[in-house]
């Protein structure tokens, strides 16, 4: 009987459930689509690594200095003779020496344009080897047969419009090396998006390594031993030091590397799902609350006929369960479409994932149904509990029940406590000395203030809407007055409807405050600290001496400053060792090129052999001017230095440590000094900086891997980097606002149904259709403005706190984007108008007599 009643009620109100269904579908679609995409990508790469990994790979010893092999000038190597030793291990059939580096750049000399990916996936250059599991096969031309020949992968060749016989240049720290494309190789499995170029072994050793060595030895067994057995024998034969990895270990390592890139997209998509779930929850609560209110007499009759509170509660929850199951099923189907779209996106940036290989595992269905059903049932529990409290006597009254004064008191107290607690945590976060501590306070403060505003929403609705709608009666007459009163009539409903919009707009404002503060702070730091006129960066590729010479010879350039960056270790006076980024700089760096604020000590001390450190590093490790520390450079080169200056936290290089180039040269041989990846140029006195920039760009045309920026261009680069994160957040916000608009539409649509008789009476006493539609539109606008006002206040509080937490990490200046706030408030009016279109149209079409006769 209970199930039959619930089914009948659900299908009787299926139109009213439609928009709530959309919210569930969106939430589940993002969850299931993300899982399907992630599973498909992981499975594809699993196949690639399984098909190409050697049984045993012997790699150079892992040292602390080699944590970022992609940025090393000279990759770590193993001796060439090691290949013979590995081949002699029992059970090894073939052992091949491999050269593969990440730090070379491919350039088309005919156009001076980069060949291959410019970000994300790497450019790999190595030696051509014939192995049982080669990832590519020659499909045209032939393997490299001499010092001037090169094989390029087919995907890269197609994108760069290169073919057999064309020239291709390989640039690295050793200079420029030109080759002729002798062969095109096609991937046998999946192209992970990388560009691959192959030379013959002798040439690759000379050009890429500068010595007759290999980056690894790849060994393949004869099937008589397990991979673990081969690894144990190889370690026993080779002795300690070398890394020996089985196929399974190589696969795990590669999956972690790929996974770190895919995880960003995965978590971003799950963020979409999370926002949709939260906002959709408010929509579902509102829908069931209104349906319960409209069915007060029906529920009262059920109670009068003997239905228990538990049965009434169950009947509402069963309806929610039906909605959740249906929404989850449709959401999982829609998720497949999202997964296909993500695959198409990855293919557009160079990957080769196939939609026909979609991996739809049990986890997709478990997560999809769990999310959809759980959020729906939990959201419906509050209205269901309210429905179970309806007494049998309610059947004898008109729709609706009296407001519960006690509930309002509890709501007020709870809301104020949560909001005050959250506000206090935000204040503590802004004043915290450590960003990590501030971040913890911030997260909890955001959560509490959000919940507090949601709880207080219905109580604020009456007061705020009375102010927001004060002009409506004067401007729009009876329609305006009725709209204002309708919005205040049910504060709980208005608060829940506005809450969904409030969340989205709060994120917009908070994100805008963060991004505006980040850009303004960076610009001010550049203006305050940077004396050089041009910043030249090589990205992944080291800057060579000829590049520096090309800049020095450019007319209008006074001098060039190159910093050499080390990943160094500092042994503190108490014996502990800490890692730090260490920059070796020439005397012109301080004063002429950069003006860094000093907390203690003098900058001149660096030129006299002292060490400069950041204020945060000094504070964290109890260091002060005059303390002596031991600095360890690459390859274990050490040097005892005295701290001569502590730079203030607000400095552009706040976290870096500095040493003079001459001081560093006393401990590190010239052959071990890394090439710079970024250098700076100062224009001559009186030179036209714009013309000099053009001359610099012309001088460096043949080095497309270099990025040349003046101070204005560098500021734009900083802004574009901030905007990348901002656009992702705006994507999340757009989704939440979309669901929030559905909530406003649903609220108004159900409100129109609920007020059918009232609308009929208004029409009967002279309210025109135009005035009726205007009334509903104005009601929608007031609700949207209410949500926008709450969201703006909440977003400003969050954004200001974020700036306070990150004040020592580069966000030293607070900037409130007034234009964005104004646009947000205007947009909320438009949102209200759009959301009211369908409900207003339906209300206007009502038959007056039929509406009055409605029970």
Strand partners, 489: none
User: What are residue 216's DSSP bridge partners?
Assistant: 98
The H or E element that residue 829 is part of is: helix 818-844
Report yes or no: 143 and 183 within 8 Å, Cβ to Cβ. Answer: yes
Q: Which residues pair with 583 in a beta bridge?
A: 565, 658
pLDDT value at residue 449: 93
Backbone dihedral region for residue 438 (phi beyond 0: left; psi -120 to 50: alpha; all else: beta): alpha
> Cα–Cα distance between 386 and 822 in angstroms, integer?
39
Residues of the chain with pLDDT under 50: 64-71, 398-403
- Helix/strand/coil for 270: helix
The C-alpha atoms of residue 157 and residue 148 are separated, in whole angstroms, by 18
pTM, entire model: 0.75
Query: Would you give the distance in Å from CA 780 to the centre of its chain?
Result: 33
Q: How far apart are CA 232 and CA 245, in angstroms?
A: 10
Yes or no: say if 852 and 764 are a contact pair by the CB < 8 Å rule: yes
DSSP assigned state of 205? I
What is the b/e burial string over 274-305, where b = at least 16 CB atoms within 10 angstroms of the residue's CB? Answer: bbbbbbbbbbbbbbbbbbbbbbbbbbbebbee
Distance separating alpha carbons of residues 261 and 42, to the nearest angstrom = 11
Apex 214 CA angle, 213 and 220, nearest 5:
135
Across 521-548, b (16+ Cβ under 10 Å) vs e yields bbbebbeebbbbbbbbbbbbbbbbeebb
* pLDDT one-digit tens code per residue, 608-652: 999 999 888 888 888 999 999 999 987 788 899 999 999 887 666
Residue 420: per-residue pLDDT: 94
**What CA–CA distance (Å, rounded) separates 833 from 782?**
10
C-alpha 245/C-alpha 765 separation (Å) is 86
Distance CA 82, CA 59 (A): 10
The Cα–Cα gap between 217 and 87 comes to 9
The neighbour count for residue 477, using CB atoms within 10 Å, is 12
Q: Which of 835, 839, 831, 832 is nearest to 749 (CA)?
A: 839
Determine the pLDDT at residue 351: 65
Which tokens go with 380? 């419906």
What is the b/e burial string over 218-255, where b = at least 16 CB atoms within 10 angstroms of the residue's CB? bbbbeeebebebbbebbbeebeeebebbbbebbbeebe
> What's the pLDDT at 349?
64
Query: Rounded to whole angstroms, how far apart are CA atoms 303 and 544?
Result: 85
Residue showing tokens 């538990």: 310
Residue closest to 283 by CA, chosen among 835, 693, 851:
835
Beta strand 216-221 pairing with 123-127? unpaired
Residue 378 CA to residue 669 CA, distance in Å, equals: 67
Which residues touch 212 (CB under 8 Å, ≥6 apart)? Answer: 80, 202, 205
Yes or no: say if 825 and 788 are a contact pair by the CB < 8 Å rule: yes
DSSP string, 324-363: HHHHHHHHHHHHHHHHHHHHHHHHHTT----GGG----HH
**DSSP letter assigned to residue 635:** G
Task: Return the pLDDT at 663.
Answer: 93
Query: Is residue 101 helix, strand or coil?
Result: strand
Give the number of other CB atoms < 10 A from CB of residue 712. 13
- 300 Cβ partners below 8 Å, 6+ apart? 390, 391, 392, 393, 394, 395, 396, 397
* Contact of 365 with 329, CB cutoff 8 Å: no
Tokens 């494309």: give the residue.
181
Query: What does the block give as tokens for 99?
Result: 């050269």
Cβ 387 vs Cβ 313: under 8 Å = yes
Residue 9 has a pLDDT of 63
Return the SS3 of 395.
helix
Which ranges in 622-688 belong to alpha helices (H)? 661-665
Nearest to 66 by CA among 567, 625, 609: 567
End-to-end CA distance of the chain: 25
DSSP tally for the chain: helices H, then strands E = 25, 26
Residues forming a β-bridge with 167: 180
Structure tokens at 604: 């001149």
Residue/partner pairs of 702-705 with CB below 8 Å, 24 or more apart: 702/107, 702/109, 702/112, 703/107, 703/171, 703/547, 703/550, 704/107, 704/112, 704/113, 704/114, 705/105, 705/107, 705/114, 705/171, 705/538, 705/539, 705/540, 705/541
CA distance 514 to 800: 8
What DSSP element (H or E) covers 577? Answer: strand 577-585
Please tell me whether residue 47 adopts helix, strand or coil conformation: helix
Strand ranges inside 109-194, DSSP E: 113-115, 123-127, 136-141, 149-153, 167-172, 175-187
Which pLDDT does position 1 carry in this prediction? 52
In whole angstroms, what is the distance from residue 281 CA to residue 288 CA? 11
Contact predicate 493/289, CB 8 Å: yes
Q: What number of residues does the chain have?
A: 855
Q: CA angle 527-529-530, nearest 5°? A: 75
Q: Residue 402: what pLDDT? A: 44
Tell me what pLDDT residue 172 has: 87
Q: Cβ atoms within 10 A of the Cβ of 569, count?
A: 18
Q: Would you state the pLDDT for residue 651?
A: 62
Count the helix, strand and coil residues of the chain and give each as a percent rounded to the nearest 5: 60, 15, 25
Contact, 6 vs 315, CB < 8 A?
yes
**SS in 3 state form for 45-95?**
HHHHHHHHCCCEEEECCCCHHHCCHHHCCCCCCEECCHHHHHHCCCCEEEE
**Token pair for residue 544?**
């060579």
Q: What is the pLDDT of residue 405?
A: 54
Indicate if the alpha-carbon torsion angle 604, 607, 613, 619 is positive or negative.
Answer: negative
At 757 the pLDDT is 82
């Amino acid at each position: 009987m209970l199930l039959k009643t619930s089914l009948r009620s659900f299908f009787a109100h299926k139109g009213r459930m439609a928009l709530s269904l959309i919210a569930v579908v969106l939430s589940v679609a993002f969850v299931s689509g993300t899982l399907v995409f992630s599973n498909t990508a992981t499975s594809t790469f699993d196949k690639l690594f399984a098909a190409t990994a050697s049984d045993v790979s012997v790699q150079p010893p892992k040292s602390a200095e080699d944590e970022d092999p992609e940025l090393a000038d000279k990759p770590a190597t193993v001796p060439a003779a090691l290949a013979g030793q590995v081949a002699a291990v029992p059970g090894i059939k073939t052992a091949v020496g491999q050269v593969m580096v990440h730090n070379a750049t491919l350039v088309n000399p005919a156009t001076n344009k980069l060949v291959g990916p410019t970000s994300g996936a790497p450019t790999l250059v190595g030696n051509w080897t014939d192995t049982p599991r080669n990832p590519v096969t020659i499909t045209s031309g032939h393997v490299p047969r001499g010092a001037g020949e090169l094989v390029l992968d087919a995907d890269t060749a197609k994108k760069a419009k290169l073919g057999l016989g064309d020239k291709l240049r390989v640039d690295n720290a050793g200079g420029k090396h030109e080759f002729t494309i002798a062969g095109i190789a096609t991937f046998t499995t999946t192209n992970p998006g990388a560009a691959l170029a192959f030379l013959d072994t002798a040439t690759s050793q000379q050009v890429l390594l500068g010595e007759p060595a290999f980056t690894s030895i790849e060994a393949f067994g004869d099937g008589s031993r397990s991979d673990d057995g081969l690894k144990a024998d190889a370690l026993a034969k080779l002795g300690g030091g070398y890394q020996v990895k089985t196929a399974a270990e190589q696969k795990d390592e590669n999956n972690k590397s790929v996974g770190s890139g895919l995880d960003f997209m995965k978590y971003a998509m799950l963020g979409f799902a999370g926002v949709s779930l939260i906002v959709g929850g408010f929509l579902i609560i509102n829908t069931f609350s209104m349906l319960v209110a409209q069915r007060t007499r029906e529920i009262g009759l059920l109670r009068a006929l003997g239905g228990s509170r538990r049965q009434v509660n169950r009947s509402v929850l069963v309806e929610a369960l039906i909605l959740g199951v249906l929404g989850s099923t449709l959401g999982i189907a829609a998720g497949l479409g999202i997964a296909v779209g993500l695959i198409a996106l990855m293919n557009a940036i160079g990957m080769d994932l196939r939609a026909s290989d979609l991996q739809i595992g049990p986890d997709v269905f478990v997560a999809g149904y769990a999310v959809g059903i759980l959020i729906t049932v939990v959201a419906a529990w509050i209205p269901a509990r309210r429905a179970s409290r309806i007494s049998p006597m309610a059947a004898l009254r008109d729709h609706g029940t009296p407001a519960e004064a006690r509930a309002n008191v509890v709501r007020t107290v709870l809301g104020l406590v949560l909001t005050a607690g959250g506000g206090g945590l935000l204040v503590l976060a802004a004043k915290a000395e450590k960003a990590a501590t501030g971040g913890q306070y911030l997260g909890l403060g955001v959560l509490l203030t959000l919940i507090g505003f949601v709880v207080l929403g219905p109580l604020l609705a009456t007061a705020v809407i009375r102010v927001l709608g004060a002009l409506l009666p004067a401007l729009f007459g009876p329609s305006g007055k009725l709209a204002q009163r309708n919005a205040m009539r049910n504060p709980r409903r208005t608060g829940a409807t506005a809450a969904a919009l409030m969340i989205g707009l709060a994120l917009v404002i908070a994100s805008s405050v963060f991004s505006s503060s980040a850009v303004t702070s960076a610009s001010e730091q550049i203006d305050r600290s940077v004396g050089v006129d041009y910043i030249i960066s090589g990205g992944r590729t080291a800057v060579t001496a000829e590049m520096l010479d090309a800049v020095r010879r450019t007319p209008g350039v006074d001098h060039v400053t190159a910093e050499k960056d080390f990943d160094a270790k500092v042994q503190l006076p108490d014996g502990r060792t800490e890692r730090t980024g260490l920059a070796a700089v020439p005397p012109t760096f301080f004063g002429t090129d950069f003006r860094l604020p000093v907390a203690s000590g003098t900058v001149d001390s660096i030129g006299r052999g002292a060490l400069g450190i950041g204020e945060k590093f000094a504070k964290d490790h109890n260091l002060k001017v005059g303390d002596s520390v031991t600095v360890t450079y690459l390859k274990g080169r050490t040097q005892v230095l005295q701290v001569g200056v502590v730079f203030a936290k607000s400095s552009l290089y706040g976290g870096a440590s500095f040493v003079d180039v001459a001081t560093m040269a006393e401990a590190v041989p010239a052959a071990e000094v890394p090439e710079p990846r970024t250098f700076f140029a100062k224009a001559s006195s009186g030179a036209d900086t714009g013309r000099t920039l053009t001359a610099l760009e012309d001088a460096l045309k043949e080095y497309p891997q270099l990025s040349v920026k003046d101070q204005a261009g560098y500021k734009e680069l900083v802004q574009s980097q901030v905007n990348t994160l901002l656009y992702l957040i705006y994507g999340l916000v757009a989704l939440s606002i979309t669901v929030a608009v559905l909530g406003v539409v649903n609220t108004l649509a159900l409100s129109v149904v609920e007020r059918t008789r009232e609308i009929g009476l208004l029409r009967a006493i002279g309210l025109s259709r135009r005035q009726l539609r205007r009334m509903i539109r104005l009601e929608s606008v007031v609700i949207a403005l209410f949500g926008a006002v709450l969201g703006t206040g909440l977003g400003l509080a969050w954004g200001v706190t974020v700036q306070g937490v990150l004040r020592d990490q580069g966000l030293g200046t607070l900037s409130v984007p007034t234009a964005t706030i104004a646009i947000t408030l205007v947009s909320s009016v438009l949102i209200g108008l759009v959301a009211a279109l369908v409900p207003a149209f339906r209300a206007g079409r009502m038959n007056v007599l039929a509406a009055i006769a409605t029970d």
